[in-house]
Structures are given as C-alpha cells and as structure tokens.
Amino acid sequence: MSEEFTSTEKVHFSKIAELQYLNRDYRGWTSTNEDHLLLLEGLRGIHRSGGFFGVGEFQVLDIALQLGADVIVLGDLDKNAVRKNLEVLKIVESSDTVSGVLPKIFKHIELIDGKDELSSIKEKMTLEGTHTGARVKLAWARSEPEFIKLKTLISQGRVAVAQVDITDPNTTIKVGEYFKSRGSILDSAYLSNIISLDKFGKKSRLQHKGAADALYIAGGRNHTLLIRSGQTTNPKIKQKILEHYPSLSERRNLIQEAMEDTEERKTHYGNKFQKLPERIERVYTTSLFLYAYEYFTQELGDYRTHVNTLLER
C-alpha cells in the first residue's frame, strides 16, 4: 500500500519527536482490555538493550521501561491516541517530580475523553481492575525512580510518537530512521492484539506479511522480541468462566473451543511460539472475564519464516 504523509519528524520546544501523521482519519477502540500487570509479571527478568516500539496508548510505557529500552516509540493507527500519548509524555517532560504527574494526566483524560474513561483508567490501576480484568501499572507516573528513567530518555531526545499502520511497511519507515538516528535498533515490540493470532485466511495472511515487513523496516532484526496478546485459550480459565457463568454453556462449548484454538496455534507456530506464564488464580467472581488476555513472545525472524510458509500454501 502507498501512503502520503502530512509531516516528518518535528521537535520544537519539546524534545519528544512527532515522527509522522498519516493522511487518514481512523478512530478505533483504543482503550485496552489487556492485563498489563499480568504481562509485566511474565516479562520479569527479561532485559533488552535496544529500542522499543509499542502499539497502543501510554500504558505500554511500563513495558518499555521494564525491558530496559534505550529508545521508545509509541505508535498507533488512531491519530487521537497518538496525540494523547504526546500530551501525556509532555506532562512527564514538564514535571520536576513524579508527585504532580498523575493528577495532570487524570485532568487531561477527563478533558478529552470524559469522566467515564477517567473512571476506567482509575479502575485499571487497582488490583481488581475493570470488569474485563484489565489492569495497568503506570509506575512512571507513581514511582520517582521510574519517572526519572522516562524523563531522562525524553530529555535525551530518545522518545517519539507516530501514527502508523503496523500492517503497512510504508508507514514504519520514519520509525526505522528514528531508531537509526539515535544509534539504536528495534529490539523489542509490543503489538497488542492488532492482528488475530488465530486467523490465517488469505486476508489475515497478507496482514501478517505486512506486519513482518513493517517491523523490519522499523529497524527490527531476526532476534527482535515480539510480544503479542490474544484472548486466552487456556482450558482451565475457560472452565472458570463456565463455573461463574453456566448460561454461557448453552451458547457455546468454551472448553472445546479452547482445545481447538490451542491445537490451531501449535499447528501454525510450532515450538517457536512461547507462551508467557499465566496466573490461573486471577479470576474475579465479579468479572465478565470474557476478555481474559494471555501473552506470547516470538522472535521476528521466526515470525517472518512462519508467515512466508503460510503464503506458500
């Protein structure tokens, strides 16, 4: 796909780079239902030394900082999400201590997204999370050491935002140029659940192909760590859902679906597809729990090999 861009990297008074905005207006569902606390626990002890690219809103900054990224780029197809990320980063940049960061972020979210979204963010910061089980950490807005880590990267000109379509390689060129200009590479990427892990039809295969190419153009290498999420296929969790919501069994057999999904993933990904630790006991009786996310890691080289194999069939 070809794409025209409205701007290139621009840094004025702020040291946060705005790499690009696309000539398309996309408004999607950007509020995450993923449990970042669960993900961070699964990534504990994993440290990377290069650049980080994260799809989604500012909540993914926790992942970048925990991995030890030396350059951070936050990207999303939703222009409003990109602008929100920019404003949140500017709040960190303009703050002298961590104490005032969170109140300013809350004020900004309420202003642009309303009270309901603010309430959702606050719920996600509790141990219980939202009705979907989603939780976030935001350590850089609550902990002085994490705040200093992020603020230092910003002051060094090593943090950027960009509007990208991760399935379109033409939109990640500026990301790759940015990493290179900072003497880094794309060493880790959080892709959220933007590409279905369980769909391998013709359209999905082309999207996977586009994503693999886009990540290399963004500065990735064969050993770049990819972190992706999807709704859980764990039969034990599906059983918990049925225990709390037996009426669901009248509409579908969740256990059978879980077994089939697991086998499907094994067929397509084999031993190269590693699942992060999952905490089965985290089931809330008050939760709908239909969006229970689990996380997977895979190296970019293996991902591309897998995609190319699918396209040859």
Whether residue 10 is predicted with pLDDT greater than 50 in this model: the reply is no
How far, CA to CA in Å, does 81 sit from each of 44, 49, 65, 113?
27, 27, 20, 11
Q: What is the mean pLDDT of residues 291-297?
A: 70
Whether residue 285 is predicted with pLDDT greater than 80 in this model: the reply is no
| Chain-centre distance for alpha carbon 61 | 9
Classify each residue of 90-100 as buried b or exposed e, where b means 16 or more C-beta atoms within 10 Å of its C-beta: bbbbebeebee
Choose between 188 and 42: higher pLDDT: 188
Q: What's the pLDDT band for 6 if we cut at 50, 70, 90?
A: very low
How are beta strands 293-299 and 274-275 bridged, if at all?
A: antiparallel
Which of 27-36, 144-153, 252-261, 268-277 has the least mean pLDDT? 268-277
Write down the pLDDT at residue 271: 56
Cα torsion at 49, 51, 54, 57 (round to 10°)? Answer: 100
Query: In the 3-class helix/strand/coil scheme, how is the chain assigned residue by residue?
Result: CCCCECCCCECCCCCCEECCCECCCCCCCCCCCCCHHHHHHHCCCCCCCCEEEEECCHHHHHHHHHHCCCEEEEEECCHHHHHHHHHHHHHHHHCCCHHHHHHHHHHHHHHHHCHHHHHHHHHHCCCCCCCCCCCCCCHHHCCHHHHHHHHHHHHCCCEEEEECCCCCHHHCHHHHHHHHHCCCCEEEEEEECCCCCCCCCHHHHHHHHHHHHHHHHCCEEEEEEEEEEEECCCHHHHHHHHHHCHHHHHCCCHHHHHHHHHHHHHHHHHHHCEECCCCCCCCCCCCCCCCCEEEEEEEHHHHHHHHHHHHHC
**Distance between CA atoms of residues 285 and 66, nearest Å:** 30
**Distance between CA atoms of residues 243 and 217, nearest Å:** 46
Q: Strand 71-76's sheet: what is its strand order?
A: 17-18, 159-163, 71-76, 51-55, 186-192, 220-231, 293-299, 274-275
Write down the pLDDT at residue 233: 64
Choose between 36 and 88: higher pLDDT: 88
**Distance between CA atoms of residues 159 and 105, nearest Å:** 18
**Distance between CA atoms of residues 43 and 123, nearest Å:** 23
* Total Cβ atoms within 10 A of residue 29: 7
Q: What is the mean pLDDT of residues 84-106?
A: 97
Q: What is the mean pLDDT of residues 73-96?
A: 96
Whether residue 8 is predicted with pLDDT greater than 80 in this model: the reply is no
Per-residue pLDDT tens digits for 113-160: 999 989 989 989 988 777 666 889 999 999 999 999 999 999 999 999
* Total Cβ atoms within 10 A of residue 245: 14
Write down the pLDDT at residue 296: 79
- The model carries a pTM of 0.84
Which of 89-98, 111-120, 304-313 has the least mean pLDDT? 304-313
Domains of the chain: 17-232+275-288+295-312 (3.40.50)
What's the mean per-residue pLDDT of the chain? 82
Write down the pLDDT at residue 289: 46
Per-residue pLDDT tens digits for 23-49: 876 655 555 677 888 888 888 889 998
Whether residue 1 is predicted with pLDDT greater than 50 in this model: the reply is no
Write down the pLDDT at residue 4: 45
| Torsion sign over Cα 233, 139, 104, 124 | positive
Write down the pLDDT at residue 89: 98
**Distance between CA atoms of residues 163 and 259, nearest Å:** 37
